Amino acid sequence: MKKIITALLLLLSSLSLKSQVNQMISDSAYFVMEVDLGKIVKSVPLEEINKLEFVQFLLKEFDDGKNKINNLSGLGVDFSAKLTVFNLEREMYNSVSVILPIKDKQKFIQLFSSEQQALFMTNGAIARNDLFISLTESACVISKINWNTESFREKTRLIFEDKGWELPENYYFYNEYDYIEDDFYNIEETEEIIEYEAEETISEYEVQQMELESKFQHILDSITTIEKTKIVKQHQNFINSPKNNLYSNDELYRKISQQTSDAKIYMNPLMNINLMSEFMYYPIRGYMEDELKEMRQFAYLNFTPEGIELDWKIQVSEDLAEVMKAGSSKKIDKNLLKYIPDYAQGIALYNINGFGAYEKFKEIYMPKLDESENAEMLLASAIWSTLDEFIDVEAVSSVYPPKILVSYAGFKEVELSRVTYAYDEETFEYSEVDTTYMEKIPMMTFALANEHAFLIEKYLKALQKLESDKVIKNGTYYTIIDGPMQLGISYYIAIKDNIIIVTNDESVVTEHLNGYSKKAFDRKTQKKIKNAKLFYAHMDFSSIAEDIVDLGFIYKTDEYLEAFHDKTGKVEIEMTSISKNQAHYKVNINTNEKYENGGFFLFELMNAIYLYNK
């Protein structure tokens, strides 16, 4: 009986500690990531993680001559609990916090200096610049705060405005200071300038401005100190007594947190002040806030023997989900699939029923605007109805239907052109010289299904007459000289049976204008492509290391290939379904077979990055 009671007490104690850690997340958090360390070390044992060079490097950072730590278990961290990261985005600051579960507080506290240990014993926390570390019996909370200095300036301005005080002139040129000062100090000093400065007299206006600047800066410094102190105190009070925490106040997060997975992600965009202020503009901000209040994103990540699985869900209102369903109701145009090269390494397919989504959106939201008592909502409805009467949305959506296939077919060596300049020593003049060179570039093809594709050809014909040196007709296709971003890369456009083909691989329009043999991927992948809802992507990273080398950005190519040649795999992203109020996406990463599971792959990848950059 005693053993049973003891076991129950241990279990309750464990659950209590986990609950305490969850309660340290503010209910204002807009991003949360939980990592189940217990599940991670089951996939990749701690002794295997300890062998990695980047882990040994990190452990040496804790070596102060007194404490010799050779493995992660010596840190005092609880590797059977959850590590949590969360972000806050507020008006005066944004922060990133890490909640590290502690198993042995005495062992963990030895990682800090004796002065810091004394502060922990006295205050339970230490502050250094904008880094704040709090320590409880079961967790260490590390927070990095980035202050929004512009918000402090705005508070100061409002005080001046409220008091009727005049603002210093330089307040209006604050954002130009860096540029002006840099430019000023680059000017070579001369004797005349020094003499002028010595004789310069200060006018009454300049004295007044100096006094205003001093006054403004003094108040700004006071406000900054007061606000920072208040926020830090609130942060520490919350750690000590986390009343308004996410776990207690958000039912969806609580449900997600209780699910079993290697890692979990939770996002609430409404808590990101900057994001939402950019997204929702006057006059219907209030309406949009109400409509999007249920919007959340969350995901579950798991390591598998094949690699890594990610189940991503986007929660919206039931009304928006109906619009999304209507947008994903149209079947893919099978003619698009002909333009996947047999040797393609990757494809992305975007297939949306634009007119269907618009009709459903109008069906749901127009009556809501009409029934509103708000004048701005009624005006929005009137304008919308007017546009809807005069614009044939169905015709517009048929001209530009978002049915797009993008394929990547690896790197290919092609001839490129560029302009160089030759210097004539006799005339002392430069002249342009057109040169060609061979370069490996990624081959990309875009295929767009459009029953009004003939309109594109009309424009191309006109452009060919207007700029014959830049647009060239070559029988069944057009060549656009020096395409986007002026990189010297030509691209080619062809129209075939209501399919618009845009590519930088000329062989697509010269040899495969009628399409390929559909042998690029296996049957399973082909089936998913045909049944794609809204979005599907597949990418084979078998030659990713060689492709990155071909881009010319890598300076230690042999070391790079040695480190990353086997860090390969295949990635698949698809929208699997839309339920009552959620869109479901699935990401599968099938890694190189040499790795026991996705966890080993991820740790080996991090280690390779460390070794290459050390």
| Average pLDDT per block of 10 residues along the chain, 614 residues long | 39 42 84 96 94 90 73 91 94 93 92 89 86 91 93 93 90 54 43 52 86 93 93 88 88 93 93 70 62 88 96 92 87 86 90 89 90 87 93 83 87 80 81 81 91 89 89 91 72 91 93 87 83 88 87 84 90 90 93 92 94 87
Domain that holds residue 467: 403-511
Euclidean distance between CA atoms 35 and 41, whole angstroms: 11
What pLDDT, on a 0 to 100 scale, did the predictor assign at position 408?
93
In 3D space, the residue among 320, 273, 399, 279 whose CA is nearest the CA of residue 578 turns out to be: 320
Q: With respect to residue 430, please indicate whether it lies within any of the assigned structural domains.
A: yes
Q: With respect to residue 536, please indicate whether it lies within any of the assigned structural domains.
A: no
What pLDDT, on a 0 to 100 scale, did the predictor assign at position 430?
83
In contact, 339 and 449? CB cutoff 8 Å = no
Q: With respect to residue 241, please indicate whether it lies within any of the assigned structural domains.
A: no
Q: With respect to residue 606, please indicate whether it lies within any of the assigned structural domains.
A: no
Q: With respect to residue 475, please indicate whether it lies within any of the assigned structural domains.
A: yes
Considering its fold, how many domains does the chain have in total?
Answer: 1
What pLDDT, on a 0 to 100 scale, did the predictor assign at position 259?
93
What pLDDT, on a 0 to 100 scale, did the predictor assign at position 12?
34
In 3D space, the residue among 58, 130, 129, 63 whose CA is nearest the CA of residue 95 turns out to be: 130
Euclidean distance between CA atoms 216 and 222, whole angstroms: 10
434 strand-pairing partners: 419
Euclidean distance between CA atoms 536 and 542, whole angstroms: 19
572 strand-pairing partners: 538, 588
What pLDDT, on a 0 to 100 scale, did the predictor assign at position 280?
55
* pTM for the model: 0.83
What pLDDT, on a 0 to 100 scale, did the predictor assign at position 273?
76
The pair of three-digit structure tokens given for residue 502, joined into one six-digit string: 């845009």
What pLDDT, on a 0 to 100 scale, did the predictor assign at position 525?
85
Inter-axis angle of helices 318-327 and 354-370, to 10 degrees?
Answer: 150
Q: With respect to residue 436, please indicate whether it lies within any of the assigned structural domains.
A: yes
Q: With respect to residue 203, please indicate whether it lies within any of the assigned structural domains.
A: no
What pLDDT, on a 0 to 100 scale, did the predictor assign at position 177?
42
Q: With respect to residue 519, please indicate whether it lies within any of the assigned structural domains.
A: no
Task: Classify strands 569-578 and 582-591 as parallel, antiparallel or unpaired.
Answer: antiparallel
What pLDDT, on a 0 to 100 scale, did the predictor assign at position 217?
93
Eight-class DSSP state of 89: E
What pLDDT, on a 0 to 100 scale, did the predictor assign at position 470?
86
Tabulate helix, strand, coil % of the chain (nearest 5): 45, 25, 30
